[in-house]
Amino acid sequence: MTPHITEQLSLNMGLPKPVEISFDGPDISSDGGFLMFSQLDKKLGFCEQFAAILPDERKQEDVLHTRLEQTRQRIFQIMMGYEDQNDANSLRHDPALKIACGQAPLSGEALSSQSTFSLYENAATMASNRKLMLWFEQSYVDSLALDTKVVILDVDGAEDKTYGQQQLTFFNAHYDSYMYFPLFIFDGITGQLVTMLLRPGNKLDPKGATPILRRLIQKIKKRLPDVEIVVRGDSKFSVPRLHNELEKLKGEFEGVEYLLGQSINSRLRKLAKPFAQKARIEYLTTGKSARVYGEFQYAADTWKEERRVIVRVMYSNQGLDLRFVVTSIKGFKPGWLYCGYCERGVAENRIKDFKNALAGDRLSCKTFAANFFRLLLHGGAYRLMFALREEAGQVKRELGRMQFDTLRLKFLKVAGIVGESVRRICIQLPKAYPLADAFRELCCRLMRPVPSG
């Protein structure tokens, strides 16, 4: 049975009568959206594939909560904004969550508690984490439409502060904090999370990016030989190892390019001087901010050969502002390429969605392997929320443009009265629910079979 608060609360609201609050109503879930997660997951088979990779050394005859049930419960809770393991102590009785995880809402067993989830997360190993990461990558590749013309891979790192005795947490002078340093790769066109890697806090920005990108590009090219692939990243990823690897891949496959920010130095300033002078004259002539694009060949001391560098010059009442991008792409004007590079900044907003809406930076386990697994769990929540937003956008366009936390607040946080009889389970959503039509239509949409082929 769900634990209840028995004391009645009386509030003085300035009305002729006191307002009394009790916690003894019927079986109600404040999160009817859990049912939507269940429908979506069954359509995609996501949690089933995720759970199949997890190690399970328990005696199966004594198992009460399967890995599939635990995976659904943990990921669904994260999606609904309950990222803390402790939340499970109450939510394990939530009737809507129980239904979503395959249990009867009232007569079924309670779901996993905090202590059970602690064992669940600490059962992960670095070997199982690697298998999950490879599965994330392959599932992304398999999801690409056969008529895909261009794939853009945006690579970026993110600060993940630590506050305890987590294994492999280190001080990072750039961020001035003790932290982990996860690496993310997003699809630059759709916004889908492709893969993620947890790194110790003292690793440099590009560490780990090269082998992941090589593996991804090989997989994509194996499935879609004619697709154009562009790798984008800021100046921290503009290092010889990544340049050389991507150029090597370009030699192996047709259509592998990169657009990477380039740090400013005195030599680049000197090469950009003619463009800076042009922008300055335009500003002095018109009195308005001037923007000029240019390009030249450049080789840093650590580069084996010259590469094409795009320069963007801004001259305004704030003075001169220079930005540089190194690229392997030919045949396009500098301004067009620079604008294409700037779209990479959207990846930072996707990381914010991952961290803010889904609490993806809540890596507070003791061991590194458990924290890596937790990062993958939050990555699974991102994948499902992304898929839900895509589906919801087909029903109501504005839902497809919302941030995850806004989508959750407006669409998924809806109370429902849950009833169970011998013959059926009934869920009553409120008449005043403003998105009732969209909720109903999306449920019907998710029940339709996936088209074959």
Mind listing the pLDDT tens digit for each residue in 89-119?
A: 999 999 999 999 999 999 989 999 999 999 9
Gap between the Cα atoms of 197 and 182, Å rounded: 6
Query: What pairing do the DSSP bridges indicate for beta strands 183-187 and 150-157?
Result: antiparallel
Topology of domain 126-357, per CATH? Transposase Inhibitor Protein From Tn5; Chain A, domain 1 (3.90.350)
Query: What pairing do the DSSP bridges indicate for beta strands 290-298 and 307-316?
Result: antiparallel
Gap between the Cα atoms of 177 and 161, Å rounded: 7
The token pair at 108 is: 């079924």
Nearest-CA neighbor of 283 among 310, 316, 324, 259?
316
Q: Is residue 374 within 8 Å of 365, Cβ to Cβ?
A: yes
Q: Is residue 39 within 8 Å of 446, Cβ to Cβ?
A: yes
pTM beyond cutoff 0.95: no
Average pLDDT for residues 440-445, to the nearest whole number? 92
Q: Is residue 137 within 8 Å of 127, Cβ to Cβ?
A: no
Q: Which residue has the tokens 């005795």?
A: 165
The yes-or-no verdict on residue 9 having pLDDT over 70 is yes
Other CB atoms within a 10 A radius of the CB of residue 90 amount to 13
Average pLDDT for residues 258-278, to the nearest whole number? 96
The CA-based angle 275-258-229, given to 5 degrees, is: 140
pLDDT digits (tens, 9 = 90+) for 164-203: 889 999 999 989 999 999 999 999 999 999 999 999 999 8
Taken in order 89, 93, 94, 99, the sign of the CA dihedral is positive
Q: Which residue has the tokens 């937003």?
A: 389
- Average pLDDT of the chain? 92
Average pLDDT for residues 421-435, to the nearest whole number? 89
Q: Where are the domains of the chain?
A: 9-123+367-447, 126-357
Q: How would you label 286-321 residue by residue, b for 16+ Cβ within 10 Å and e otherwise? A: eeeebbbbbbbebebeeeeeebbbbbbbbbeeeeee
The token pair at 381 is: 């929540």
Q: Which residue has the tokens 């990108």?
A: 213
Gap between the Cα atoms of 276 and 293, Å rounded: 9
Backbone φ, ψ for residue 16 (5° rounding): -60, -25
DSSP string, 85-144: GGGHHHHTT-HHHHHHTTS-TTTSPP---HHHHHHHHHT--HHHHHHHHHHHHHHHHHHS
* pLDDT given at position 155: 96
Q: Predicted confidence band at 1 (pLDDT cuts at 50, 70, 90)? A: very low
Q: Predicted confidence band at 19 (pLDDT cuts at 50, 70, 90)? A: confident
Q: Which residues fall within 8 angstroms of residue 188, CB to CB, at 6 or more apart?
A: 152, 153, 154, 230, 232, 343, 344, 346, 347
Helices (H), 207-307: 209-223, 240-252, 266-271, 273-286
Helices (H), 181-252: 209-223, 240-252
* pLDDT given at position 76: 97
Q: Which residues fall within 8 angstroms of residue 14, CB to CB, at 6 or more apart?
A: none
Gap between the Cα atoms of 203 and 211, Å rounded: 15
* pLDDT given at position 348: 86
| DSSP percent split of the chain into helix, strand, coil, nearest 5 | 45, 20, 35
